[in-house]
Amino acid sequence: MEIVHLKEFLDEKVNLYNNPNFIETDPIQIPHSFTLKEDIEIAGFLVSTIAWGNRKSIITNSNRLIDLMGSSPYDFVMDFSEKNADSLSNFVHRTFNPDDLRYFLISLQNIYTNHGGLEKVFTQNIQTTSMQHTIHDFRKLFFELPHLTRTEKHLGDPMKNSAAKRLNMFLRWMVRRDDSGVDFGIWKNISPSMLSCPLDVHSGTIARKLNLLKRSQNDAKAVQELDNSLRTLDAEDPVKYDFALFGLGVFEGF
Q: For 212-219, which contacts have Cβ atoms below 8 Å and span 24 or more sequence positions?
A: 218/163, 218/165, 219/161, 219/162, 219/163
**pLDDT score for 37:** 98
**pLDDT score for 84:** 81
Mean pLDDT within 70-83 = 94
Q: 175-229: per-residue pLDDT in tens?
A: 999 989 999 999 999 999 999 999 999 999 999 999 999 999 999 999 999 999 9
Say what percent of the chain tops pLDDT 70: 100
**pLDDT score for 254:** 85
Task: Please compute Rg for the chain using Cα positions.
Answer: 18
- pLDDT band with cut points at 50, 70 and 90 for residue 86: confident
**pLDDT score for 140:** 97
DSSP β-bridge partners for residue 93: 96
The answer to whether 47 and 31 are in contact (CB under 8 A) is yes
The answer to whether 246 and 14 are in contact (CB under 8 A) is no
Q: Please work out, in degrees rounded to the nearest 5, the angle formed at the alpha carbon of residue 159 by the alpha carbons of 184 and 113.
A: 50
Mean pLDDT within 121-136 = 90
- pLDDT band with cut points at 50, 70 and 90 for residue 127: confident
